[in-house]
Structure 1
Amino acid sequence: MSTPPTGRTWITAEWLSETGGSERVVERLAAAMPRAEVFTPVAFAQGAPSIARERIHAAFRRPEALMRRREAAAAMNAASWSTWGRTLDRKADLVVASHHMSSHWTAAYSDVPHVSYVHTPARYAWFPELDGRASSLPARALCAHIRRMDRKAAPRVRAYAANSEATRQRIQQVWDRDATVIHPPIDLGRFAGLEPAGGEPFVLGLSRFITYKRLDFVIEVAQAAGVPAKIVGGGALEEELRAKAASARVPVEIVTGTTDAEVAQLMADAAVLVYPAVEDFGLVPVEAMAAGTPVLALDEAGTRETVVDGVTGYLLGGLDASAWADKVGAAMALDAAACRTRADEFSEESFEESILEWISAAVDS
């Protein structure tokens, strides 16, 4: 059993907002290193609820209005790291970054050893073909700053870990660094004992309501399959999705404002999760499998590493709604127990053990 690092440890994160994949990783890092303090430019009142509030140091608290504009939140990040970075030599012995935009930048300002767990190099800055949200002039200027700061910080980080093989390849491509692959943790306890509530089968789309998640395509698959759909989440595209749902040839329900428990039950109730996003890892498909629900996903990036084709779902090339619809029935017939067994490989305990081993090796090198 690996042990937490000794000495003063900082965990850095871009923001702690509504619970998502990166926030859950920060929570597990904090659980694995119970003496570490967490530094973030932006913290919601309910962000990362499992971490004691006195452990969280934030430049801005409860910035809900600003967080509605990601450019504002990103600018707040960019303005914070240099100040904190310059204090590190007096206040920390180790920095563990949870990175998807800027949190490893403190390495550019300090000689304190840094290690970085990477969800992705900022996709809108490095891979706009995958995430086209940074189209405005201010956003493009910010992306140039992100690339410049990443190039300064990356050579100074002692070790990188990547959440998937796809992310490892991106790190190699843009920063010329190798990384250890450590898949993110799944809270398997959320799904323990869940059983479908019964009722008419439906396909599930679950994510933030943003463009690259392609929830409109989920509705198209449901129409082509002749199966009702539920689209669960929230975000900027809610009105567009409601309009598409209203004109669909099958019943489509848009569900927002759900609790974690309600989302888990919806996953268990669904006949199949349709997940057409290109993801760095993709927690949602693994969570669906933990609930016993098979997955239809793209044969690309993170889902290629998690969904076992023909066993826990099907991997498809391209976005042809008819081809996806043709697999809905076959996916419904897959074994729920096999889905749960696959999800068990991504436990929180396995993640924490792997993280501590990686940190220990990096610090000792």
Structure 2
Amino acid sequence: MTRTVITAEWLSALGGSERVVEHLAAALPAARVFTPCAFHGGAPTIPRDRIDAAFRRPERLMDRREVAAVMNAATWPVWGRRLDRSADLVLASHHMASHWTAVYSDVPHLAYVHTPARYAWFPELDSRASGSLAARALGAHIRRMDRRAAPRVVSYAANSEATRQRIAQVWDRDARVIHPPTDLSRFEGATPTPGVEPYLLGLSRFIPYKRLDFVIDVAEAAGMPAVLVGSGHLEGMLRARAAEATVPVRIVTDASDAEVVRLLADATALVYPAVEDFGLVPVEAMAAGTPVLALDVAGTKETVRDGVSGYLLTELDAAAWAERVAAVDRLDPEAVRRRGHDFGVPAFHRQVEAWIAEETG
């Protein structure tokens, strides 16, 4: 039997990449999962005895991405050198560093890529690695390690066509596209709660490129309350912005999975201004029957059908987005829901299994 290891940068409680790791682990039930950092409540569907973590409960240390990167950089060389004795195949779930074990190991590597690290390779999309000296050093280290790892990976899969193009641009490697899975069972029977006041929803980590402050701008332009759900180091800024807003803005940082489903189903629309390589949250919103407002670029351009499951806009103009908010009641909720169901778990499992079989058979 092939001894397979799944690698991931970290397992936190909220995040699309962590959910993909859970589905990879479900598709490969005998595989162990290695991560430098395992948060409390991260990837809850993976049994704890399947997870090898260098650091458990690192919440306080992970407030700054530079620290997270140091923890990753310190761990991958040690783990990579162990792989030759403990694995026959590595499947990396990559958005920052997890394919780096290929630098230190002769074990065949496949990598499912959520994105080449945007703050290192595409600072115009995410400026976090262009500020302090430490952040710039982090970006340079990521680029250096990626260049060393990319030629040693047997095969790449990308979560979207946009990611496939970025892999070709920065690593000079081709990739097949396998869209991430959405656990549609979570949304069975999800319908709006009668009598709920209309509101716009923003759901993501509280970090700069997610642009949750723009969700408040759109809510103000539309004259509608907003709910922001997530967590992250911009929480203080968002709370200050919410306190100054001309419409009610509620910030939720501790929502359970069931509460997230309810908030998605009850929302008038999901406002999603981030430039994402795929973006699971818009797919989840559609699966709940909720229209999505997003940019006509990258991942959302592939997932949201303009005029069917939401609206795509060309720029961050709050007034233009507010006009589309007024038009969402023209959309058929069942058509919205069907579009979300195009990205289900069974299709993902089949494609991952076929990819592995083709590259290792």
Tell me which interval the TM-score lies in, with the shorter structure as reference length: over 0.9
Query: 2:103 is matched with which residue?
Result: 108
Counterparts of 1:1-365 in structure 2, within 5 Å, are: 6-134=1-129, 135-197=131-193, 198-364=195-361
Whole-angstrom CA distance in 1 between matches of 2:59 and 2:226: 30
Cα offset, 1:239, TM superposition: 2.1
**Could you list the per-position Cα deviations for residues 4-41 of structure 1 after superposition, in whole angstroms to 9, with x for gaps in the alignment?**
xx411111111112231111111111111111111111
SS at match of 2:220: helix
Cα offset, 1:162, TM superposition: 0.3
Aligned partners of 2:270 and 2:292 also within 8 Å: yes
Cα offset, 1:333, TM superposition: 2.3
List structure 1 segments (4+ residues) > 2 angstroms apart after TM superposition: none
TM-align CA RMSD: 1.1
Residue identity matched to 1:193: G
SS at match of 2:73: helix
Cα offset, 1:45, TM superposition: 3.2
Whole-angstrom CA distance in 2 between matches of 1:56 and 1:255: 29
TM-score (norm 2): 0.97
Residue identity matched to 1:264: V
Q: Residue 110 and residue 361 in structure 1: after superposition, are their counterparts in 2 closer, same or farther (change >3 A)?
A: same
**Could you list the per-position Cα deviations for residues 15-73 of structure 1 after superposition, in whole angstroms to 9, with x for gaps in the alignment?**
11223111111111111111111111111232111111111111111111111222111
Whole-angstrom CA distance in 1 between matches of 2:325 and 2:319: 10
Cα offset, 1:234, TM superposition: 1.8
Aligned partners of 2:63 and 2:233 also within 8 Å: no
Cα offset, 1:212, TM superposition: 1.0
Whole-angstrom CA distance in 2 between matches of 1:17 and 1:206: 16
Cα offset, 1:255, TM superposition: 2.1
SS at match of 2:34: strand
Cα offset, 1:113, TM superposition: 0.8
Aligned partners of 2:13 and 2:40 also within 8 Å: no
Aligned partners of 1:219 and 1:252 also within 8 Å: yes
Cα offset, 1:250, TM superposition: 1.9
SS at match of 2:92: strand
Residue identity matched to 1:160: Y
Whole-angstrom CA distance in 1 between matches of 2:261 and 2:106: 43
Cα offset, 1:215, TM superposition: 1.1
Residue identity matched to 1:221: V
Q: Which runs of 5+ in 2 are unaligned?
A: none
Residue identity matched to 2:19: R
Aligned partners of 1:88 and 1:110 also within 8 Å: yes
Whole-angstrom CA distance in 2 between matches of 1:84 and 1:142: 20
Percent identity over the alignment? 71
Deviates more, 1:307-316 or 1:41-50: 41-50
**Could you list the per-position Cα deviations for residues 103-130 of structure 1 after superposition, in whole angstroms to 9, with x for gaps in the alignment?**
1111111221110000000111111111
Whole-angstrom CA distance in 1 between matches of 2:196 and 2:39: 37
Whole-angstrom CA distance in 2 between matches of 1:178 and 1:351: 19
Deviates more, 1:218-227 or 1:26-35: 218-227
Residue identity matched to 2:146: D
Whole-angstrom CA distance in 1 between matches of 2:109 and 2:46: 22
Q: Which runs of 5+ in 1 are unaligned?
A: 1-5
SS at match of 1:311: coil
Aligned partners of 1:272 and 1:332 also within 8 Å: no
Deviates more, 1:25-34 or 1:133-142: 133-142
**Could you list the per-position Cα deviations for residues 162-199 of structure 1 after superposition, in whole angstroms to 9, with x for gaps in the alignment?**
00000000000000000000011111111110111132
Whole-angstrom CA distance in 2 between matches of 1:218 and 1:199: 19
TM-score (norm 1): 0.96
Residue identity matched to 2:234: L
Aligned residue pair count: 359
Cα offset, 1:151, TM superposition: 0.6
Whole-angstrom CA distance in 2 between matches of 1:64 and 1:234: 12
**Could you list the per-position Cα deviations for residues 257-292 of structure 1 after superposition, in whole angstroms to 9, with x for gaps in the alignment?**
111110110110011111111011111111110110
Aligned partners of 1:209 and 1:236 also within 8 Å: yes
SS at match of 1:130: coil
Whole-angstrom CA distance in 2 between matches of 1:109 and 1:244: 46
